[in-house]
Amino acid sequence: MGYIELNNVSFTYLLAKRPAMENVSLSIEKGKFYAILGANGSGKTTLCNIIRGFIPNFYEGEMTGEVMLEGKPLKDYSMEDLAPKMGYVFQNPFNQITGARDNVFEEIAYGLENFGVPVDEIQRRVERVMEMTNTAYLAEKNPFELSGGQQQRVALASILVLEPDILVIDEPTSQLDPKETERVFDIIRKMKETGKTIILVEHKIELVAEYADHVIVLENGKVIDFGEKHEVLSKLELQDHGIVLPQSVVLADKMRKQGMEIEPKLVTRDELKQELQRKYGR
């Protein structure tokens, strides 16, 4: 039994012609890092919303199948019970901003206030998370007056500060530069090290290859592949489904075609580099 389980879940948004999620079954282990891949419109955000329970709670439509969390149907949890357990960083950071507070510090502190955390602890936790997400210099700013990338970091901070067991994060780096993107992945890695379960939608495949444990591939609302990252990301045929594979996978394939003997299932730069050094001394 998985930590989170989806059993044959389908969902059709109200008035939509076809399901956005179709017969999806997944088992998610506690403490692992899952990356969700798929083209635009393939259902990545829908899947996140289903795992978080926002579907069917806040979206109209027809849902069948069942989601379980720790052996109990997700629908039997109240939203109040789920909130401290499962954090959700929206794809559009603008939607994350509460509008209830007029500076970034208070915005990040907002959730903790709602959970009744003592003031000095709030101060400590917000400061630490601002440091982590490089948002300390924005503390006095109005959250609505930030750039997209800054909003994205504040949105992430406002969830991290709650220290939920499960983090569902939808494209958190889409508006970030490479340096800030690396920082986000580093934060996620640290979260994983503290035992948190991570579910991340992310297009930057090299970083997925490096950091994720498992990969879920969606196409037209269906899971077309799911498994350990080396198994999934080394499948060249995924390219026929519009999935961009890591450079080392593509490169290793070319080298094999030229007669080089290269171990299968190398998905990161370092893995390919080490293999080339080992076999060919370069």
Ligand X SMILES: Nc1ncnc2c1ncn2[C@@H]1O[C@H](COP(=O)(O)OP(=O)(O)O)[C@@H](O)[C@H]1O
Nearer to ligand X, 59 or 247 (CB): 59
Q: Which two tokens stand for residue 9?
A: 């879940």
Could you tell which of Mg ion, ligand X, none binds residue 42, using a CB distance below 5 to 8 A set by kind? ligand X
- Please, what is the minimum distance in Å from the beta carbon of residue 236 to Mg ion? 25
Nearest-approach distance from CB 221 to ligand X, in angstroms: 7
The Cα 169–Cα 158 span in angstroms is: 12
CB of 107 to Mg ion, least distance (A): 23
Residue 139 · residue 130 · CB < 8 Å: yes
Nearer to ligand X, 40 or 78 (CB): 40
CA-CA distance, 144 to 94, in Å (whole number)? 8
> What is the rounded CA–CA span in Å between residue 229 and residue 210?
9
Q: Are 254 and 244 in contact (CB under 8 A)?
A: no
CB-CB neighbours of 275 under 10 Å: 18
Nearer to Mg ion, 52 or 125 (CB): 52
Nearer to ligand X, 19 or 164 (CB): 19
CA distance 121 to 162: 12
Among the listed residues 203, 201, 208, the one whose alpha carbon sits nearest the alpha carbon of residue 185 = 208
Q: How far is the CB of 45 from ligand X (least distance, A)?
A: 3
- Interacting partner of 204 out of ligand X, Mg ion, none (Cβ under 5 to 8 A depending on kind): none
What gap in Å lies between CA 281 and CA 208, rounded to an integer? 27
Least gap, CB of 243 to ligand X (angstroms): 12
Minimum separation from the CB atom of position 119 to Mg ion (A): 36
- Contact residues toward ligand X (CB under 6 A) are 13, 16, 20, 38, 40-46, 59
Cβ contacts of 134 within 8 Å, gap of 6 or more:
153, 180, 183
Residue 41 or 148: which CB sits closer to ligand X?
41
Whichever of 28 and 272 has its CB closer to ligand X, that residue is: 28
Helix (H) or strand (E) holding 26: strand 21-28
Contacting positions for Mg ion (CB under 5 A): 44-45, 91
CB of 38 to ligand X, least distance (A): 5
Helix, strand, or coil (residue 225): strand
Cβ atoms of 22 and 29 within 8 Å: the answer is no
Q: Per DSSP, what are the bridge partners of residue 228?
A: 214
Residue 40 binding partner per list ligand X, Mg ion, none, with a CB distance cut-off of 5 to 8 Å that depends on partner kind: ligand X
Q: Name which of 16 and 119 has its Cβ closer to ligand X.
A: 16
Cα end-to-end span (Å), the chain? 45
User: In whole angstroms, what is the distance from residue 278 CA to residue 89 CA?
Assistant: 41
